[in-house]
Chain A
């Protein structure tokens, strides 16, 4: 095994660059090193001006997502040896505006997320002294998969529909809406329906399926969206059959 590998890192410094450029760095190729270790090595030893986001190093915080050799990935979970002999292209997440180097502007996602009310919505508040809201294992299984989302936005950078139309509310937001819609304690489905059947909601999705491929937590946003299309269609029919009810 070679003892070093080249990282071809995208640099963009808005005060001097008109557009992003690539810069090569040689970093040690160690069996247990991930791309993020390589970036940290660059930052510490080679070029302190390199900007990128990271925090937990263990696939939970969702902040170190980047394009590695053209695929969206958590850099803390992408081993250098799997991309040897290199050079490994490390680029900012696709489909987002680039603020500096590998840092993207996530404002759009943060604005979309609360639109689907990703929390338990109750018609009535259950007083704390009534104790826990119990769920059976089956009720938990209905939504558990969707609750694994870490908001890393890899699905957005994998989604061509979002790339073409930034108004599309996107995979993670819809999967999170489903996470609460399918929760037996939640009463917010009707509220979320209004957001999701909007033209910028589920109907823009053409089931490319790449969001599911990209997801590091097996959330399957693509499946969630198609399931929701069926729900939304049924609700629309219901609203015609029984006027006054439904959306």
Chain B
């Protein structure tokens, strides 16, 4: 019996399809739900869609998230924002590292899902490894980018003056469509490493990893609401992602110029910061840098007088 279970759940052939086994055991299918505020609800809309792989096989019944789901997610993200940005940067680093640990532990499941979504075993392994390494990369940045991009400004008057980066707030992200896991991780990690919270719309055609990744997040000390993951159609949701008045920045990773135009127009509503990552090759080193963190940072400059008694010079 034990032997059979192993066979049916883990054996994978080169073409990615499960080997036919003689087992009579019925496989337990996974329900792919969305992730809002640390919970796994179904979409409030009750709708679903069925992404398929290249050979036409239906992958799952996936939540077709609605505008209301997005709005709920914004509420969750806003609620989590002050707690997350208020955490010690060192602690954020530890949590991102923990996320990498949990991802490493569930590597096999991600490889399997990637293969279901038309990847090869070698490619899938590489993608998962890269995703883990990317989290480690940003875990290390959490308490360092501030030092690189801050400044003590030598003003001419008798003031102490310094500029530091601060998270912009709530960020809505349309994740890269082509890279199911790596794309998702690459856009989430710099945003939360910088102390922001986010709502991410997963790849429409390859959504499986995103829901499983939410399970990783949920078991890795990341507070609920910091990352919220929706599945659904960018064609339906993108305009709401950039429309919402309580979202501070929006990231879009595709090169559709009509959508980009629409997004920049709508971003004017509350002057969201808007970024198009359509030329980034996520599977190279170009896909990671502290400049991605800085995109969703604001620079705050603080002034304070320095006491100057009767024109006295420095006492040392």
Q: Do A and B come from one complex?
A: no
Q: Which residues of A contact B (CB under 8 A)?
A: none
